[in-house]
Structure formats: C-alpha cells, structure tokens
Structure 1
Amino acid sequence: MADHPDLETLLLGPVLPDRECGGCTACCVTLKVDTPDLKKPAGTPCPQLSATGCSIHAVRPTICRTWFCAWRRVAALPDEARPDRSGLIVSVSFNRAARHPFEAIALTVLALPGSKAVASGMAAHVLDALCDRPIAVWFSDGQRKMLMHPENDVSQIVLSGAEAPPQLAAEVALWRQQYAAFLA
C-alpha cells in the first residue's frame, strides 16, 4: 500500500531537498506544541533548546522530526523568507474549535516579536506567494489576526451563502467547495 501524504504535504507540497533549517530555531520558541512526546506553550523556548540548537536533535520527538514550516516546503518563498531571516513563520493551522470556517484549516503567517517584515515588504512577498491556492491565509502580528485570503468580498459571500455576482461566481464556488465541511 502506498504511503498517503499528510495534510501539510497536500496543502504546501513536500519538504524541499535543498532547504535546511540551519541555525533557525523560530519554531522551537514561537509555536505551541501539545503532543504526547512534547508539551510547551507558544512563545516559550523548548526546554531542549540550547545556544547551539536542539540539545537532543538525534532523538528529538516525532513532531520535531516531521513538522516543517512553509519555507521548507514552498519553493516560491525566497531564501530570505526563512523565519530567522524574515521575522515570519508560516504554518498550517488546524483548529477543531474554529469560530470561523476559514480558521478550521488555514495557513497562518505569524510575525515574530520584533519583526520588521511588514516595513521591509517581506510580509507582502510571503503573502503573495501563499495566496495562490484555495486555502485561507491569515496574518497575525501577535496582537491581531487578519484574514488575507480569500479577499473580503469573496469571504463574505462564501460565508453568507448569498449568490455571487458573475465576476466572482467561479471563485466563490471554488471556496465553497473547498470549505464545504465547515460551512454546513
């Protein structure tokens, strides 16, 4: 039986062979981890993180072996978009208790503390590279969370169930199909 790709691979593609984390440890600090092997709150360094990286890299938990940020998977993101260089970390978000259908499965672009990604234009570049597929994209600066894709006019029609104007009909139909399970 063939291996089935995980949802992150389906949404973002496989891990790119020519991209390595290198000295980037943004995920080790920024992200919340709640697995049987490792639990840590968001914004808190992993207890295994040392000045030189992961102190247990050879035997790190499964989540650390299998999770990769979007920079490791999306070729359209430039080298400068690596989280430690760009001040942005991009991940697939799964939210079982979503208040909004587009929060259920989405890409989240999170500006790291002290990030200058908005001012430098890197945030716009990353968003442009991600907003080309039918998956919701959110941007968060740590204080606010904003839906960036689909655009507001499309998202309002999708969520309201209203009939789409002709120029948006195909796009609205695509989003409704993609998020049908969360719109019911």
Structure 2
Amino acid sequence: MRSAPETDVETTLLGPVLADRSCGDCTACCTVLTIDTPDLKKPAGQPCENLFEGGCRIHAERPHICRTWFCAWRRVATMPEDARPDRSGLLVSLNFVRAPQNCFEGVSINIRVLAGSEAIENGMAAVVLDSLCDQLIPVWFSDGSSKMLLHPDDDVARLVLSGDPAPPHLEDEVSAWRERYGVFMPTHGR
C-alpha cells in the first residue's frame, strides 16, 4: 500500500506554489538570504557567486535549497501581484529558527524590507501585512538590523508568552496560539 506524500511545512502553512507566479527577473533571494547548506554557503546581503546579470549561471543544476525554496509571494494568493520582491522592495519568507528566543520565532513569516525600498512610504508594506496577518502564523517585520513581531498583536503575544489567563474576549485566540506554538515554549516553570 502506498502512503500519501508528505507535505512540506511551507506548503502546509502558506499553500502550494501558485502556477501563475514565477520569479521572472527577480533574484532578491539570491542576494538577501543567508544560505548555509552542504551544497551552497552564502552570507546574507551578498550576491550568490552563481548570480550574474542574466540570472543564475547554474540554474539547470542549482542546489536543492534553491530548487525547493520559494518566497511567500509565490505561494500566498492574497498577496498582490506587485508584491513580488523586486517590485515591492519586500522579501517575504517562512523562517525556521533552531533555537528560538520565544515561541513566535520557531516557525514564522518574516517580511524583510530590502535596501532602498519605499514599501513603507508607498503603502505596499501595509498591504502585504494585511494579506498575511489573518492566519495563525507569527509575522515579523525586519529592516535588516532589527525585527518586530506584528502578528499576533501585543496583547495576545504577551498572554501567550506569560501563560497568564486570558480575558474572555481573547481566550479562544490565545488558546489557539498556545496550542499551535506550545512546542516552542519553555517547559520550565509550568
């Protein structure tokens, strides 16, 4: 008997890659992201050694990490067409942190403002946030030097982290976050 294929975490949380969205000329991920795999190592903020003016010089044989990674714009249909990283100045990705400082960092969406971006001033950042902050996935916003948690809101985040009882109007929401992200919460003191 054949078992059903396993769905990767990105597909489970963000959905499948959308057939009508392709990277086109966008190479933001080839510069912005840190890559540290056996096949490819590249520090954040530096272009990949395989990137040249026409795209990826090894595209046909690119490493597994490059074949399987897709920014959220390629997966989240509610993100507008103009949110493609090279157009919007925002790179949105699902992040995994091996040693999270809190439960909202283990698995989360990170919106990175790219150098020279006007996404905050022109309102694109707000549009992208609105398209992402309706799910039970933490959303962080980063300018490259610091990051801040934008979803869930401060009241809910504080209650989730503290373990304090939630007021009636927040009980369901706080409970849902604790249930989903409890695996990332410290067990000491509880």
- Pair in the same fold by TM > 0.5: yes
SS of match in other structure, 2:149: strand
> In structure 1, what is the equivalent of residue 42 of structure 2?
40
The correspondence of residues 1-184 of structure 1 with structure 2, limited to 5 A, is 1-183=3-185, 184=187
Deviation of 1:128 after TM superposition, in Å, equals 0.8
Number of equivalences = 184
Deviation of 1:143 after TM superposition, in Å, equals 2.0
SS of match in other structure, 1:2: coil
Deviation of 1:8 after TM superposition, in Å, equals 0.6
Partner Cα distance (1:168, 1:148) in 2: 17
Deviation of 1:36 after TM superposition, in Å, equals 1.0
Partner Cα distance (1:126, 1:22) in 2: 20
Structure 1 stretches of 4+ with a deviation exceeding 6 A read: none
Deviation digits for residues 137-162 of structure 1 (CA, Å, limit 9, x no counterpart): 00001122000000000000010000
Deviation of 1:118 after TM superposition, in Å, equals 0.5
Letter in 1 for 2:171: A
Partner Cα distance (1:114, 1:142) in 2: 12
User: Given that residues 28 and 85 in structure 2 are in contact (C-alpha distance below 8 angstroms), is that contact kept between their aligned partners in structure 1?
Assistant: yes
In structure 1, runs of 5+ residues without a counterpart are none
User: Given that residues 89 and 117 in structure 2 are in contact (C-alpha distance below 8 angstroms), is that contact kept between their aligned partners in structure 1?
Assistant: yes
Partner Cα distance (1:94, 1:120) in 2: 29
Q: CA RMSD, aligned part only?
A: 0.7
User: Given that residues 89 and 116 in structure 2 are in contact (C-alpha distance below 8 angstroms), is that contact kept between their aligned partners in structure 1?
Assistant: yes
In structure 2, runs of 5+ residues without a counterpart are none
Percent of aligned pairs with the same residue? 60
SS of match in other structure, 1:139: strand
Letter in 2 for 1:116: E
Partner Cα distance (1:144, 1:48) in 2: 28
Q: Of Structure 1 and Structure 2, which has the larger fraction of its residues in helix?
A: 1
Partner Cα distance (2:146, 2:38) in 1: 30
Scaled by the length of structure 1, the TM-score of the pair is 0.98
Scaled by the length of structure 2, the TM-score of the pair is 0.95
Letter in 1 for 2:132: L
Partner Cα distance (1:124, 1:58) in 2: 36
